Amino acid sequence: MNEKVMIVEDEKTIADAIAYALKREGYEVEAVYHGGTALQRLQEFRPDAIILDVMLPGMDGYELLKKLQSRGKIGIIMLTAKEDIVNKVLGLELGADDYMTKPFDMRELLARLKSLLRRMQAAGETEKGELVELGGIQLRLDKRSVVVGGASLDMTPKEFDLLALLASSPGRVYTREQLLDLVWGMEYAGGTRTVDIHVQRIRKKLGPVHSDILQTVHGIGYRGMGTGG
C-alpha cells in the first residue's frame, strides 16, 4: 500500500505543486487549505506524514501541531517563510520532525520526506511490544508510555523519542549533534540547545530519584545509565 501524505498549505499553487510531485513519486496525497479541515480529515485519510505550513488562516501550523500530539505517530515536515531560529526551535519542540524554509527545492523536500518515512518505518520495527527498563523506569515503545513507580508520566513526542533512544542503549555516549539528527531528523537544525532543553524537561518529569539516568558527558553529550550507575 502506498504511503499517505497530507499537505496542509493555504497557498493553492504551492499545495498543488507539492501534490503533483508527491503523486509522481507514488504517494497517496490529500491537500487541504485550513488547519481545521486537516483535523476533520485525519481520521478518514490517516496520513503517514503531513507537510504543514506555519501560516494558515484560522488555526496556524503551531496550534495544529499541538493538537496532533495526541493523534499517534505522524511524521511532520513544517514549511515557513520565516527564517529565524526561534520559529524553527518552536516547531521542533512542539513535535515537528523536520523544517524547511520557503522558497525550497522540491527535490530536497522529497528527499527529506523519504528520509523521514524511512526513519519512522525503522522505529516501528523496533517498537512492536518492546519494553525498555532503565534505572527504575519502564518505557513501552509500542504504546509510547513511560511509567515510574507505577505512575504514568506525560511526555511530549520528542521527549519520549529522546528518552527511548538513550534508555535503549545504556552506557552509549551520544553527542548532541547525533541526538539532534536521530531524534529531530536533521543535523544542527535549531541548534543543539534544543537537546539540552529537552533533557532538562525529561529530568524534571522523572523527579530527583530517577533524573540521573540521563547523564551529562561534559563536552560531548549524554548517555543513559541505571540509577546510581
Could you tell me the CATH number of the domain that includes residue 113?
Answer: 3.40.50.2300
Residue 72 has pLDDT above 70, yes or no: no
Domain boundaries, position 174: 131-224
Residue 167 and residue 101 in one domain: no
Q: Higher model confidence: residue 128 or residue 5? A: 5
Quick one: pLDDT band at residue 128, thresholds 50, 70, 90? low
Q: What percent of the chain has pLDDT over 90?
A: 41
Residue 50 and residue 86 in one domain: yes
Asked which of 125, 145, 177 is the last residue of a domain, the reply is 125
Closest CA to 221 of 190, 181, 186, 185: 181
Residue 204 and residue 119 in one domain: no
Residue 184 and residue 71 in one domain: no
Residue 104 and residue 136 in one domain: no
Q: What is the pLDDT of residue 4?
A: 95
What is the rounded CA–CA span in Å between residue 8 and residue 34? 7
1-16 pLDDT, tens per residue? 589 999 999 999 999 9
Residue 47 has pLDDT above 50, yes or no: yes
Quick one: pLDDT band at residue 84, thresholds 50, 70, 90? low
Asked which of 63, 98, 125 is the last residue of a domain, the reply is 125
Residue 38 and residue 94 in one domain: yes
Residue 46, domain member (yes or no): yes
Residue 102 and residue 21 in one domain: yes
Residue 53, domain member (yes or no): yes
Given phi > 0 = left and psi -120 to 50 = alpha, else beta, which region is 209? alpha
Residue 151 and residue 215 in one domain: yes
- Alpha-helical runs (H) found in the chain: 12-24, 35-45, 61-68, 85-93, 106-125, 157-168, 176-179, 193-206
Residue 8 and residue 98 in one domain: yes
Provide the number of structural domains found in the chain: 2
Asked if residue 136 lies in contact with residue 153, where contact means CB atoms within 8 angstroms, the answer is: no
Residue 229, domain member (yes or no): no
Residue 51, domain member (yes or no): yes
Q: What percent of the chain has pLDDT over 70?
A: 90
177-199 pLDDT, tens per residue? 889 888 887 544 567 888 999 99
Whether this model's pTM surpasses 0.95? no
Residue 58 has pLDDT above 80, yes or no: yes
